[in-house]
């Protein structure tokens, strides 16, 4: 039998017999790896650990300790355990699809009975019984006609439909358990046996139309999460529990920050306190941008379709745009306009006013640009996914040689802002050229190199995402981590070699020739709405003093100190402090509890003793201790705290 060369990720080469499997390779490396192996990647394609390898290949062994291994374990759990458990409990149930998702899995079933969350423990118990048997999982290949026969005999019509709709005629993979007691159609790979499944929990039940179409039957979708062990599962469930407590929609309602209603789906009704957060954050960002030489502009909300056609958005994004038709006065025509879904074409129009020289570049435009995008109603989610939003948008017009410096300056600014807003950790992802793109390889080489050099020049780690760039250029995405470990992609820095050309943006170079500038799309927060939602959840509603909508509550013990309390409020407001004066005839404990629930950072209490000594008693949010302060010292302290970070 001939030999094959298998190249490992570290560059070393193992020589094995043709037809050897991933397991054979793992065993050749060591028995420990063989025991831990669950699948293999061959030339970037995941395969079952026992699949034969017939040619020289790049290979890597997948273990449960990797992200790929965890996903394979989850896939096995849903397709081979959850599906079988439901069939055991509800024999007439029909199997639809069962993919993995972030942190877990789901499976869709056609079940006559109504399944609720109360039924999940019963299904979990059945799943555990199946896992305890430690069944082996085997794979067989079938032709299209053979696979159809298998599932027709099982009365599994959804599997039959999937097979019928497939373009392939051979090599349908069917995975079996326990002498053919259970079978499912699956792309794989799977674990070789159920003993390697870690810890799991079913989480919820919902309805889902077959293939996502409301014209089809509503199926029952069962969700679950799965992890390597009980420790990781418990950690995840605790995070979910904490996330529910921090839900910005719940906190927003409790603190009277904003609301939504059916008459304007996906649009935010900001209340006074929520709008205070919005304005404070916007003013903070405006100051940062001014200090970094951005020119703030403002562009129209409604723009003729001709500009969207010229920019390419009309063809590629029209279904997400709000369209309006207007009968033009003094003309027998209808003008088709769109509410802008993004600001970039309008920024090019500002740039195009007047001839630009290379000496003028870079030009940095910033706009708190209000945008509207039609998002499907099922995707709307509080402030996190809306139809009307405002971006901290910006576009930089520069030469190719200036990309590196602009990227480095942007990353430094973004780092400073994230840190000041309480996010100490963020990751950078460099997305490189996709298969379908505009521009020459030479231009892409320079652009990608510029972004990569910019990251490396300031010593920040990054991850390369091959092929994930925009069609017009490479990009950097910035993913911050919040207080409970969740990741949020917010900032972006995208080099565009396409739009300036489409919209005739030019500058005159040193030789007097007209050249096309590079247009950099950049944002730090993303949308204000979404970022405020992230802030609320990160701080569980207990915002930093400078961002809090109400910063100090002044409460009185008796009515004798009402005038003193009013004077304190007047003094604080003169320093720009946002205050609440509470002189109600209520017990002081009740007042303190109410203002604590409202998450006001500082609660000041005054009575006759404080009035006589020009002092205040102070309780900080989250503490049960009270401290005594001289009034003037306290005012100086909060004045410093109220200032936005520089």
SS3 string, 465-521, reads ECCCCECCECEEEEEEECCCCCEEEEEEEEEECCHHHHCCCCEECCCCCEECCEEEE
- What angle do helix axes 441-457 and 403-420 make, rounded to 10 degrees? 40
C-alpha–C-alpha distance, residues 221 and 212, integer Å: 12
Q: Mean pLDDT across the stretch 491-508?
A: 92
Q: Is position 546 within any domain?
A: no
Same domain, 126 and 196: yes
Q: Mean pLDDT across the stretch 390-418?
A: 94
Same domain, 210 and 292: no
Q: Angle at CA 545, nearest 5°, toward 394 and 571?
A: 115
CB 616 within 8 A of CB 568: yes
pLDDT score of 277: 98
Same domain, 183 and 266: no
Same domain, 107 and 51: no
pLDDT score of 376: 87
Q: Mean pLDDT across the stretch 20-41?
A: 91
pLDDT score of 497: 86
Quick check: 530 pLDDT over 80?
Answer: yes
Same domain, 524 and 433: yes
Q: Is position 534 within any domain?
A: yes
| Residue 269 CA from chain centroid, whole number | 23
| 311, containing H or E segment | helix 305-311
Quick check: 446 pLDDT over 90?
Answer: no
C-alpha–C-alpha distance, residues 84 and 176, integer Å: 11
pLDDT score of 332: 66
* Whole-number average pLDDT of the chain: 92
Q: Is position 250 within any domain?
A: no
CB 635 within 8 A of CB 575: yes
Q: How many CB atoms lie within 10 A of CB 236?
A: 18
pLDDT score of 220: 95
Q: Mean pLDDT across the stretch 68-89?
A: 92
DSSP 8-state symbol, 261: -
What pLDDT band is residue 440 in, cutting at 50, 70 and 90?
Answer: confident
Same domain, 448 and 492: yes
pLDDT score of 286: 97
Cβ-based burial of 118 (10 A; exposed 0-12, middle 13-18, buried ≥19): exposed
* pLDDT one-digit tens code per residue, 577-635: 999 999 999 999 999 999 999 999 999 999 999 999 999 999 999 998 999 999 999 99
What pLDDT band is residue 442 in, cutting at 50, 70 and 90?
Answer: confident
Q: Is position 451 within any domain?
A: yes
Q: Mean pLDDT across the stretch 270-292?
A: 97
Considering only CA atoms, give the Rg of the chain. 30
Quick check: 70 pLDDT over 70?
Answer: yes
Q: Is position 245 within any domain?
A: no
Quick check: 324 pLDDT over 80?
Answer: yes
pLDDT score of 136: 86
CB 233 within 8 A of CB 257: no
The domain in which residue 320 lies consists of: 302-339
Residue 12: asked if its preceding bond is cis (omega within 30°), the reply is no
Copy the structure tokens of residue 575.
Answer: 């320093």
CB 105 within 8 A of CB 78: yes
Quick check: 331 pLDDT over 80?
Answer: no
Q: Angle at CA 486, nearest 5°, toward 485 and 487?
A: 120
CB 311 within 8 A of CB 349: no
Residues marked as catalytic = 344, 373, 391, 393, 395, 475, 521
Q: Mean pLDDT across the stretch 391-413?
A: 93
Q: Is position 545 within any domain?
A: no
pLDDT score of 236: 93
What pLDDT band is residue 527 in, cutting at 50, 70 and 90?
Answer: very high
Copy the structure tokens of residue 84.
Answer: 């079988």
| 318, containing H or E segment | none
Q: What percent of the chain is modeled with pLDDT above 70?
A: 99
Q: How many CB atoms lie within 10 A of CB 251?
A: 19
CATH code of the domain covering residue 275? 3.30.930.10
pLDDT score of 146: 94
* pLDDT one-digit tens code per residue, 353-388: 999 999 999 999 999 999 999 998 888 999 999 999
Quick check: 95 pLDDT over 80?
Answer: yes
Same domain, 445 and 532: yes
pLDDT score of 329: 63
Residue 362: asked if its preceding bond is cis (omega within 30°), the reply is yes
What pLDDT band is residue 330 in, cutting at 50, 70 and 90?
Answer: low
Q: Mean pLDDT across the stretch 434-454?
A: 85
Same domain, 328 and 377: no
Same domain, 311 and 294: no
Q: Is position 383 within any domain?
A: yes
Q: How many CB atoms lie within 10 A of CB 624?
A: 8
C-alpha–C-alpha distance, residues 15 and 7, integer Å: 9
Of 509, 538, 567, which one is at a domain's C-terminal end? 538
| Count of structural domains, the chain | 5
Same domain, 286 and 433: yes
Of 75-79, 291-295, 632-636, the range with the lowest mean pLDDT is 75-79
Same domain, 425 and 562: no
Quick check: 167 pLDDT over 90?
Answer: no
CB 122 within 8 A of CB 179: no
Same domain, 119 and 204: yes
Q: Of 205, 165, 518, nearest to 361 (Cα)?
A: 518
What pLDDT band is residue 498 in, cutting at 50, 70 and 90?
Answer: confident
Q: Is position 443 within any domain?
A: yes
* Count, residues in the chain: 646
pLDDT score of 1: 62
């Amino acid at each position: 039998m001939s030999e094959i060369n298998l190249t490992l990720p570290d560059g070393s080469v193992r020589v094995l017999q043709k037809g050897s499997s991933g397991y054979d390779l793992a065993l050749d490396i060591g028995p420990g790896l063989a025991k831990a192996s669950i699948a293999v990647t061959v030339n970037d394609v995941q395969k079952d650990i026992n699949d034969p390898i017939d040619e020289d290949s790049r290979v890597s062994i997948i273990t449960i300790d990797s992200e790929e291994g965890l996903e394979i374990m989850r896939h096995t759990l849903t397709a081979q355990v959850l599906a079988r458990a439901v069939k055991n409990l509800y024999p007439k149930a029909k199997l639809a699809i069962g993919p993995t998702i972030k942190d877990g899995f789901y499976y869709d079933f056609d079940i006559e009975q109504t399944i609720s969350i109360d039924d999940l423990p019963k299904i979990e118990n059945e799943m555990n019984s199946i896992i305890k048997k430690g069944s082996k999982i085997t794979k067989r290949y079938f032709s299209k006609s053979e696979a159809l026969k298998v599932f027709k005999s099982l009365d599994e019509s959804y599997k039959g439909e999937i097979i019928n709709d497939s373009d392939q005629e051979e090599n349908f993979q069917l995975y079996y358990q326990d002498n053919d007691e259970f079978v499912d159609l699956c792309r794989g790979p799977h674990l070789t046996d159920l003993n390697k499944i870690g810890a799991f929990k079913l989480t919820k039940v919902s309805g889902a139309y077959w293939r996502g179409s409301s014209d089809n039957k509503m199926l029952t979708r069962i969700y679950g999460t799965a992890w390597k062990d009980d420790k990781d599962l418990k950690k995840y469930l605790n995070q979910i529990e904490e996330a529910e407590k921090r839900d910005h929609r719940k906190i927003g309602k409790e603190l009277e920050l904003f609301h939504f209603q059916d008459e304007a789906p996906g649009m935010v009704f900001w209340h006074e306190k929520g709008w205070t957060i919005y304005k404070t954050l916007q003013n903070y960002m405006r100051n940062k941008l001014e200090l970094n030489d951005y020119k703030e502009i403002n562009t129209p909300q409604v723009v003729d379709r001709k500009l969207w056609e010229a920019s390419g958005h009309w063809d590629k994004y029209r279904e997400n745009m709000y369209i309006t038709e207007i009968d033009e006065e003094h003309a027998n025509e209808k003008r088709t306009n769109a509410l802008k879904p993004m600001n970039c074409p309008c920024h090019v129009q500002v740039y195009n006013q007047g001839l630009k020289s290379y000496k003028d570049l870079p030009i940095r435009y910033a706009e708190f640009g209000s945008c509207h995008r039609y998002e499907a109603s099922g995707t709307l989610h509080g402030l996190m996914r809306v139809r009307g939003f405002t971006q901290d948008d910006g576009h930089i017009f520069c030469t190719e040689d200036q990309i590196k410096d602009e990227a480095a300056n942007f990353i430094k600014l973004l780092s400073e802002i994230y840190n000041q807003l309480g996010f100490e950790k963020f990751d950078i992802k460099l997305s490189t050229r996709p298969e379908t793109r505009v521009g020459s390889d030479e231009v892409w080489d320079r652009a990608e190199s510029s972004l990569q050099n910019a990251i490396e020049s300031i010593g920040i780690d990054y991850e390369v995402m091959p092929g994930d760039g925009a069609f017009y250029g490479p990009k950097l995405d910035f993913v911050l981590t919040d207080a409970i470990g969740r990741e949020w992609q917010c900032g972006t820095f995208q080099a565009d070699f396409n739009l300036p050309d489409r919209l005739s943006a030019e500058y005159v170079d040193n030789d007097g020739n007209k050249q096309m500038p590079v247009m950099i799309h950049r944002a730090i927060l993303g949308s204000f709405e979404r970022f405020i939602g992230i802030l609320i959840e990160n701080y569980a509603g207990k915002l930093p003093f400078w961002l809090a909508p109400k910063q100090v509550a002044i409460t009185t013990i008796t009515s004798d100190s009402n005038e003193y309390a009013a004077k304190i409020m007047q003094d604080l407001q003169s320093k720009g402090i946002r205050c609440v004066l509470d002189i109600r005839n209520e017990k002081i404990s009740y007042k303190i509890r109410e203002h604590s629930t409202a998450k006001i950072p500082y609660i000041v209490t005054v009575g006759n003793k404080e009035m006589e000594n020009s002092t205040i008693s102070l309780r900080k949010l989250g503490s049960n201790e009270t401290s005594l302060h001289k009034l003037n010292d306290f005012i100086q302290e909060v004045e410093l705290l109220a200032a936005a970070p520089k």
